[in-house]
Amino acid sequence: MSSQLLVPISHPLLARFINISTEPKSDVRVNAICDSFRRGLSWDRLSKQFNSVELNNSIVEKVLLKLKEPIDAKAALGFFHWSAQKNYYEHNIWSYSITIHILVQARLLIDARVLIESVVKKCVEDASKFSVVDSLLATYKVVVSTPLVFDLLVQAYAKLRMFEVAFDVCCYLEENGFSLSLISFNTLIHVVEKSDKSYLVWSIYEPMLQNRRYPNEVTIRTLIDALCKEGKLQIYVDMLDRIHGKRCSPLVIVNTSLLFRIIEEGRIEEGMVLLKRMLQKSMILDTIAYSLIVYAKVKLGNLESAVEVHEEMLNRGFTSNSFVYTSFLGAYCREGKIEKANCLIQELENAGLKPYDETYNVLIEGCAKAHRVEECLNNCEKMMERGFLPSCSAFNEMIRKLCEAGDAEQANVLLTRLLNKGFLPNETTYSHLIAGYAKEGKIQEVLISVYSLQHGSLCPLILKLTSLIKNLDIMGAGSALERLSYLSIKDSICSAKSPK
């Protein structure tokens, strides 16, 4: 992407500096100051010689622009610091920007970084977070600067842990025709990964790829660390093992993670554009690309197109995998086509592939919603035999149907078995169980479930308890009503005292 900023002549900021540069060059005071700094006079001599000169923004900017050539960069820096202590003159954002451009152009990067950090801190309370970058953009062509200045700016924001502003500035610069270097992206990704908002690394990595800044080992290592921090590395490793059949490189793991997130967010078109670019750069494998395209088509509800992509995948010599089968299973279950789903699971196993936890989860939820409770229970048993536990949402859907069918006891027995295997229920789990027992008039079991709910630090919502209390009142369960009312009051006190 072009690094030249296209600013119209009518731009008020640029016009300001054009006017300065076209003023007569006979300004004796400005020339005298420039010559003195070029000769390296001491500050004492400079202060005596120019004691009568009242510095203002106009004079300061004129001097700096006369010293804008790289050969005069040290003189410009000297003037900047000297003028800052003279008669309490305070530099504005424009003089900072001009000086920063001069220093970067002369490759005096240490001094440039110091001034950039200084002006960023100075403007931290400004209404616009783009005040510094706007100033640097406005003075860019006047000083004939280099895009490196914007890399240093973003790196300064990152160093100061202002990474959200840094990211916004990245996007703003892209809109104005400037793309950051890989070093700047890596710096920003590294800082974000070390913060308490490490999930934002993917919001940086995605536009980085869109801007054709491709990762190196440093990028990938940091993103792998981010996956570890999120607790999702093993999830994506397992996913790729199912798709590809063997362990994939860190590059492929990271890129699959990004694409899967984009698809899950419903941004299918953006994901497909990025996937195509990754394929062109050999950043993802063909079999993984096909599998993700099938998943995306299924998510869009375009099952026919997903089948066509799957057939193309097979015709090109790639084998199917349990991830693709599970994608189709989910589609059939959502449409209530349980017979087709059962045929597909049989086909999966006949192909020598192994169902995994999500395979069973979609089957359990699908069967539950189709009121096929026995099949739910059978799939749950098979799942546990293979060492998997159902997801909370799948299990909750199953016991909801059991309780609605008047079989809360079986739901409770199944829950107990799963708890012994490490299953973590949520409030909805117990709500279904309580409602089931209440429907059957089993008040003692209701109270036991409520106690279990509180013991597990899953305090029931007051509104749900209020509804339950009303049901018990209708049933004439006076003693139970009093005890449950007490629990409700106790719960409201706990909720009020608990930290937000």
Look at residue 113 and tell me if it is in a domain.
yes
Does residue 86 sit within a domain? yes
Q: How many domains does the chain have?
A: 1
Per-residue confidence at 221, pLDDT binned at 50, 70, 90?
very high
Global pTM reads: 0.79
The whole-angstrom separation of Cα 148 and Cα 105 is 9
Mean pLDDT, rounded, for 93-118: 96
Residue 397 lies inside a defined structural domain of this protein: no
Domain that holds residue 88: 1-146
Contact 80, 33 (CB under 8 A): no
At 128 the pLDDT is: 85
Question: Is the pLDDT at 474 greater than 90, yes or no?
Answer: no
Mean pLDDT of all residues in 409-424: 90
d(CA 79, CA 53) in angstroms, rounded, equals 14
pLDDT of 240 = 96
Residue 142 belongs to a domain: yes
Residue % of the chain over a pLDDT of 90: 65
In this predicted structure, what is the pLDDT of residue 272? 95
User: Per the domain annotation, does 315 fall within a domain?
Assistant: no
Residue 477, pLDDT > 50, answer: no
Q: Is residue 415 part of a domain?
A: no
* Better-predicted residue by pLDDT, 44 or 95: 95
What per-residue string of b and e applies to 331-367 under the rule 16 or more CB within 10 Å gives b? Answer: bbbbeebbeebbebbeebeeeebebbbbbbbbbbbbb
22 pLDDT band, cuts 50/70/90, is very low
Average pLDDT, the chain: 85
Chain centroid to CA 73: 41
DSSP annotation of 245 reads S
- How far is the C-alpha of 197 from the C-alpha of 199, rounded, in Å? 5
Question: Residue 426 pLDDT > 90, yes or no?
Answer: no
Tokens for 373, please give them.
């409770």
Pick the residue with more confidence: 367 or 491?
367
Band (pLDDT 50/70/90 cuts) for residue 19 is: very low
The span from the CA of 214 to the CA of 210, in Å, is 9
The arithmetic mean of pLDDT across residues 13-32, rounded, is 58
Contact in structure between 137 and 5 (CB atoms under 8 Å):
yes
**Is residue 267 in a domain?**
no
Are the CB atoms for 389 and 423 separated by under 8 Å?
Answer: yes
Quick one: pLDDT at residue 492? 42
Instruction: Say whether pLDDT at 39 is over 70.
Output: yes
Mean pLDDT value of segment 458-462:
45
pLDDT of residue 155: 95
User: Which pLDDT score, from 0 to 100, does residue 451 have?
Assistant: 55
In this predicted structure, which of 87-91, 264-268, 315-319 has the lowest mean pLDDT? 87-91
Over residues 263-286, the mean pLDDT reads: 95
Which whole number is the average pLDDT over 334-357? Answer: 92
d(CA 245, CA 366): 27
Give pLDDT, residue 153: 97
Residues 6+ apart with CB under 8 A from 233: 224, 227, 253
Span 20-44, average pLDDT: 77
- The pLDDT, as a whole number, for residue 27 is 76
Note whether residue 44 is domain-resident: yes
In single-letter form, the type of residue at position 243 comes to I
pLDDT attached to residue 435 = 82
What is the average per-residue pLDDT within 202-228?
Answer: 95
Q: Which range among 19-28, 64-73, 140-149 shows the weakest confidence by mean pLDDT?
A: 19-28
Nearest Cα neighbor of 275 from 266, 265, 262, 264 is: 262
Q: What is the pLDDT of residue 296?
A: 96
